[in-house]
Structure 1
Amino acid sequence: MSNYDYIEMKVPAKPEYVGVARLTLSGVANRMGFSYESIEDLKVAVSEAITNAVNHAYNDNESGEINIGFGIYEDHIEIMIADRGESFDLEKIKQETGPYHPEEPVEKLREGGFGLFLIEALMDDVKINNQYGVMIMMSKYIAEEEVDMDDDQISTTQ
C-alpha cells in the first residue's frame, strides 16, 4: 500500500461550516499541484456533499456532525464526507431526477437532486455508502499536464 497523509475534520451539520471544509480543501489541493480549475471542481463537489448532509441527514430538532477526511496521495486526493443521519434510496433519487432530454420543455424540469450528479460529473471516482447514515467517497487525480514531473516539489508556494 502506498504512503499517504490523512487530514480529518469533524464539523457541526450547519451551513456556516461548509466554507471551512472548502478552504481546507483548497489549501491542500493547491499544495498538491492541482490546477485552479480542478480546485474549483473539488470545492463544488465537496460543497454539494456537505450541503446534502446539512439539509437532509438530520431532523430539525437533532444536532449532528459531519466527518470530513482528505487522503493525500502523490497523484490524487481521496475525500470522504460522512454523516450518521437519515439515509436515502440512491436509485430512487436517480430515477426521479434524471435523465434530462433537450426536447423536454423547461416546465417539466424537476428541482433538486442535482448534487449527486454534479459530484459524479466533477470527480474521477465516486462511491456512496448509505448504510448507517451516508458516506460519500470521491477521488480526483492530478492531471499530468498540471504538474511538471521533473520538479522535486509539487508546490512552488512553500
Structure 2
Amino acid sequence: MKPTSDTIELTIPAKAEYIGVVRLTASGVANRMGYPYDAIEDIKVAISEAITNAVNHAYSEDEEGEVAVRFQLLPDRLEIMVADKGRSFNVNAILEEMKPLDASASLEELSEGGLGLFLIDTLMDQVTFNNDSGIAVIMTKFLQRDEVELHADRIKQSYDRPVGR
C-alpha cells in the first residue's frame, strides 16, 4: 500500500448499540492497511473496550453524551483516538492499579476496575491518555512488529498533545 496519512472521524452517541459500527469501521480500515487477521481482532477488541469505558463511565444515566473516534492512517501504523467530554478520572491511579494478572488467582479475586485498560494495553503497541476535558485514549498499532521496539514506552499519560474532538 502506498504511504498515506488519511484521517477518518466518527462521532457516535454514547450508547452500547453503536460500538459495532465503530468495530466494523476499524476492521475495514485495518484490513485496507494490510494488517493480519489477529491484529485486526486485537484492534477491534481494544476499540470496543475504550468505547465501552466511555459509554459506562463518562456520562450519567440521564445525560446524552457522544464519543468521538478518529482513525489516523499513517505509513507505519494506525492511531485510533477514542474521546469523550464526560467525567474524567484519575489516570495515574488507574495506571498504578494495572498490573499483570495473577494466573493462580480465582475469578472472585480479580479486580474489575481497570481490566478494560489492561486489555487495551495488552492488545495495542502504544497507549496514551489525555484527560484535559473528559478522557481521550490514543491507541497505536504498528504494521511491522519491529516498530514496537522503537516505541517501547507503551503506556504514558499526555497533557501536552492536542486532541481534536
Give the TM-score category using the shorter length.
0.7 to 0.9
- Cα pair distance change 1:39/1:134, threshold 3 Å: same
> What amino acid does structure 2 have at the position aligned with 1:67?
A
Identify the range of structure 1 (13-22 vs 95-104) with the bigger mean alpha-carbon deviation.
Answer: 95-104
- Cα pair distance change 1:87/1:32, threshold 3 Å: same
Match of 2:128 in 1: 127
Q: CA offset at residue 71 of structure 1?
A: 0.3
1:14 matched to 2:15? The reply is yes
In 2: Cα distance, 1:3 partner to 1:143 partner: 16
Q: CA offset at residue 109 of structure 1?
A: 2.1
Rg larger for: 1
Match of 1:74 in 2: 75
In 2: Cα distance, 1:98 partner to 1:31 partner: 34
Match of 2:102 in 1: 101
Instruction: Please give the per-residue CA displacement for 1:63-107, whole angstroms capped at 9, x wherever unaligned.
Output: 000000000012210100000000111222244464543454554
Q: Is the 8 A contact 1:49 1:115 kept in 2?
A: yes
In 1: Cα distance, 2:115 partner to 2:36 partner: 25
Q: Is the 8 A contact 1:97 1:110 kept in 2?
A: no
Q: SS in structure 1 opposite 2:62?
A: coil
Match of 2:152 in 1: none
Q: Is the 8 A contact 1:57 1:85 kept in 2?
A: yes
In 2: Cα distance, 1:109 partner to 1:4 partner: 40
Match of 1:113 in 2: 114
1:87 matched to 2:96? The reply is no
- Cα pair distance change 1:31/1:99, threshold 3 Å: closer
Q: CA offset at residue 143 of structure 1?
A: 2.3
> What amino acid does structure 1 have at the position aligned with 2:23?
R
Instruction: Please give the per-residue CA displacement for 1:120-141, whole angstroms capped at 9, x wherever unaligned.
Output: 1111111001121000011101
Q: Percent identity?
A: 52
Unmatched segments (≥5 aa) in structure 2: 147-165
Q: SS in structure 1 opposite 2:9?
A: strand
In 2: Cα distance, 1:105 partner to 1:141 partner: 34
TM (normalized to structure 2)?
0.80
In 2: Cα distance, 1:5 partner to 1:105 partner: 45
> What amino acid does structure 2 have at the position aligned with 1:37?
D
In 2: Cα distance, 1:18 partner to 1:131 partner: 24
Q: Is the 8 A contact 1:124 1:139 kept in 2?
A: yes
In 2: Cα distance, 1:9 partner to 1:106 partner: 36
